[in-house]
């Protein structure tokens, strides 16, 4: 991607490329993987060097403030994600301090901090915006090789150093992010920026436009490319979080292997169906942990109107985005695990329509449109995992969007193992007792399982463990005993 430099009075209309860009997906900058490389054949630059980037209409270079005066060094290479940021720094004559290392290929810059004039202490507010911007760019995917037109460059040539929530900082962000934003988001943002800055619309319209812009710009828009996941590490996480459930674990590992082959998410999410308390939500959280993605939850039992999901139109003064858009905003990125709890309750809408129907576009991964945002939100990086107690209450169109996994209830023997290996150690650790201070004999464990017989899931045995350990703590603190041993009779009396 060429970067233009009008480097002399005799060549004002001639575009000269003084450095080349390279595509990078590194999430952190180092001397080995720098942001940019400056020429250092005539002089070796110090580790921390102050100065400023020259305005691109002069030349694409960095002017070092040296003891013997200003010394200029051409930029040889730059990470394509930082081209717009470099232009902004140059046009606004912002004083910065570079941290870099002299290497055979040049001075490798891996950190940029804003400073006061002359290289003094940094201006906290200004530098805060710059560091935020650098962090966001490092978290972004490299832009396409498509070259921007001069008209586009001029339209984006805005900038200031206010907070991101302000109008000016939103403009700064749009300018610096450039084509790291998805095309439809970038074009939508320009239209909303025009509304937010217009004097011909009402204050309410401007406020809504600015709020929508702030939400969209605070989301890290990522591609749907997924790095390979270690199946052995995935299996370790599943074994750590779940007891038994071999068929469930096998299905999840199959999904991981599929992602490793295609580097994209499967076309279908997971629907976990089973009795209450069998660990459906825990499975969903484990999958999010394996995928190394943020997760957000949507409780369908509390959704009575589709507008709660889709947002309300900006024609209303109290308009606001829907829950789905709020979830993207809270997650902070476009790739996330969307956990939909109690999907079988989605058909009980009391408003003007069925909330379940709204989910169809989200589940199809074709994009979701929020009435408040007035923009199609990319959803090809969203992995939906739904839970339900009774799949008979889920409509066929919704069911067809999921790979269904039935979660059976635990047998008494399985509950006994879960109590001994998972539940009791977890409760002891939470309350702060050693296992030698609270001992439950085998017939005591049998009494716990018998007491919870006929109740699905393991929540009742977790509550029983909490009661037993709390009673042991009481005996130790009040009666000053060293430890408490529970047999079957004691458990039956305690839990009766």
Give 269-281 pLDDT, tens digit per residue.
Answer: 899 998 888 888 8
Name the range with the highest mean pLDDT among 28-32, 120-124, 348-352, 394-398.
Answer: 28-32
Whether 248 and 334 share a structural domain: yes
Whether 396 and 419 share a structural domain: no
Does some domain include residue 165?
yes
* Section 129-145 average pLDDT: 85
In this predicted model, which residue has the larger pLDDT, 327 or 126?
A: 327
From residue 79, alpha-carbon distances to 19, 29, 114, 402 in Å are: 11, 10, 19, 40
Looking at the chain, the whole-number percentage of residues with pLDDT higher than 70 is 88
pTM for the structure as a whole: 0.66
Nearest to 25 by CA among 74, 81, 68, 70: 81
Whether 238 and 203 share a structural domain: no
Locus of tokens 């085998």: 442
From residue 55, alpha-carbon distances to 161, 253, 403 in Å are: 17, 53, 55
* Section 191-201 average pLDDT: 90
Structure tokens at 302: 């509390």
Which of 382, 406, 430 lies at the terminal end of a domain, its last residue? 406
Give 30-60 pLDDT, tens digit per residue.
Answer: 999 999 999 998 889 999 999 988 865 555 7
393: CATH: 3.40.50.300
Does some domain include residue 241?
yes
> Alpha-carbon distance 223 to 400, whole Å?
25
Whether 333 and 402 share a structural domain: yes
- Note the pLDDT of residue 59: 59
Residue 3: pLDDT over 60: no
Whether 271 and 328 share a structural domain: yes
Whether 290 and 329 share a structural domain: yes
Structure tokens at 56: 């691109």
| Lowest-pLDDT range of 190-199, 339-348, 378-387, 392-401 | 339-348
- Note the pLDDT of residue 278: 82
Whether 365 and 267 share a structural domain: yes
The DSSP bridge pattern shows strands 36-38 and 106-114 to be antiparallel
* Section 331-355 average pLDDT: 77
> Alpha-carbon distance 77 to 41, whole Å?
15
pLDDT band at 18 (very low <50, low <70, confident <90, very high): low
- Note the pLDDT of residue 295: 87
481: CATH: 1.10.8.60
- Note the pLDDT of residue 489: 92
Sign (positive/negative) of CA torsion 317, 322, 325, 330?
Answer: positive
* Section 18-25 average pLDDT: 83
- Note the pLDDT of residue 464: 92
pLDDT band at 78 (very low <50, low <70, confident <90, very high): very high
Does some domain include residue 146?
no
Whether 421 and 351 share a structural domain: no
Helix/strand/coil for 103? strand
Give 81-132 pLDDT, tens digit per residue.
Answer: 998 898 888 888 888 999 999 999 999 999 999 887 655 544 445 678 888 8
Helix/strand/coil for 144? coil
Burial of 74 (0-12, 13-18, 19+ CB in 10 A): middle
Residue 145: pLDDT over 80: no
Looking at the chain, the whole-number percentage of residues with pLDDT higher than 90 is 31
- Note the pLDDT of residue 57: 52
Whether 190 and 296 share a structural domain: no
Does some domain include residue 87?
yes
Whether 393 and 348 share a structural domain: yes
In this predicted model, which residue has the larger pLDDT, 408 or 287?
A: 287
- Note the pLDDT of residue 124: 47
- Residue 97 structural domain: 4-138
Does some domain include residue 196?
yes
Whether 344 and 252 share a structural domain: yes
Direct distance between the N- and C-terminal alpha carbons of the chain, in angstroms, rounded to an integer: 75
DSSP 220: B
DSSP assignment of 353-401, as one string? S-HHHHHHHHHTTS-EEETTTTEEEP-TTEEEEEEES-GGGS-HHHHTT
Does some domain include residue 147?
no
- Note the pLDDT of residue 366: 77
- Specify the number of domains making up the chain: 4
From residue 319, alpha-carbon distances to 209, 376, 463 in Å are: 11, 18, 42
- Note the pLDDT of residue 156: 41
* Contacts of residue 61, Cβ cutoff 8 Å, sequence gap at least 6: 18, 53, 54, 72, 73, 74, 75
Residue 176: pLDDT over 50: yes
* Contacts of residue 309, Cβ cutoff 8 Å, sequence gap at least 6: 303, 322, 323, 324, 355, 358, 359
Please count the residues of the chain: 496
Whether 263 and 333 share a structural domain: yes
CA atoms within 13 A on the CB side of 134: 19
Helix/strand/coil for 391? helix
Residue 360: pLDDT over 70: yes
């Amino acid at each position: 991607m060429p970067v233009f430099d009008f480097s002399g009075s005799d060549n004002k209309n001639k575009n000269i490329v003084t450095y080349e860009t390279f595509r990078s997906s590194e999430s952190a900058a180092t001397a080995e993987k720098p942001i940019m490389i400056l020429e250092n054949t005539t002089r070796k630059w110090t580790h921390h060097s102050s100065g400023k980037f020259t305005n691109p209409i002069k030349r694409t270079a960095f002017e070092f403030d040296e003891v013997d005066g200003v010394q200029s060094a051409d930029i040889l290479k730059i990470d394509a994600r930082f081209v717009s940021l470099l232009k902004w720094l140059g046009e606004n004559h912002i004083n910065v301090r570079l941290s870099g290392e002299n290497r055979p290929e040049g001075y490798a810059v891996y950190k940029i901090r804003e400073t006061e004039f002359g290289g003094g202490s940094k201006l906290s507010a200004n530098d805060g915006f710059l560091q935020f911007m650098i962090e966001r760019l490092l978290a972004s995917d490299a832009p396409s090789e498509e070259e921007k037109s001069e008209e586009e460059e001029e339209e984006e040539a805005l900038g200031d150093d206010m907070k991101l929530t302000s109008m000016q900082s939103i403009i700064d962000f749009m300018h610096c992010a450039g084509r790291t934003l998805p095309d439809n988001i970038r074009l939508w943002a320009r239209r909303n920026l025009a509304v937010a800055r217009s004097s011909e619309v009402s204050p309410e319209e401007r406020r809504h436009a600015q709020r929508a812009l702030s939400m969209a710009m605070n989301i890290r828009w990522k591609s749907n490319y997924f790095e390979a996941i270690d199946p052995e590490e995935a299996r370790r996480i599943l074994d750590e979080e779940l007891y038994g459930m071999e068929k469930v674990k096998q299905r999840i590992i199959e999904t991981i292997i599929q992602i490793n082959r295609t580097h994209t998410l499967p076309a279908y999410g997971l629907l976990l169906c089973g009795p209450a308390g069998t660990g459906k939500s825990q499975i969903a959280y484990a999958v999010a942990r394996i995928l190394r993605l943020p997760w957000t939850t949507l409780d369908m039992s509390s959704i009575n109107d589709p507008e709660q999901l889709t947002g309300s139109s900006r024609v209303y003064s109290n308009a606001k985005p829907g829950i789905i858009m709020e979830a993207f905003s809270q997650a902070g990125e476009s790739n996330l695990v969307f956990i939909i709890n109690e999907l079988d309750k989605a058909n009980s809408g009391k408003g003007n329509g069925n909330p379940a129907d709204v989910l169809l576009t989200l589940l199809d991964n074709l994009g979701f449109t929020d009435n408040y945002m007035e923009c199609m939100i990319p959803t090809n990086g969203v992995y939906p995992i739904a839970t339900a107690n009774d799949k008979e209450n889920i409509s066929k169109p919704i069911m067809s969007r999921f790979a269904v996994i039935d979660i059976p209830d635990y047998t008494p023997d399985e509950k006994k193992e879960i109590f001994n290996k998972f539940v009791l150690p977890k409760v002891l650790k939470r309350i702060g007792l050693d296992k030698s201070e609270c001992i439950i004999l085998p017939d005591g464990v049998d009494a716990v399982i018998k007491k919870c017989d006929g109740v699905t899931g393991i929540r009742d045995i977790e509550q029983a463990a909490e009661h037993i350990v709390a009673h042991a703590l009481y005996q130790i603190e009040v009666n000053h005993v060293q430890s408490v041993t529970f047999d079957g009779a004691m458990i039956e009396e305690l839990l009766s």
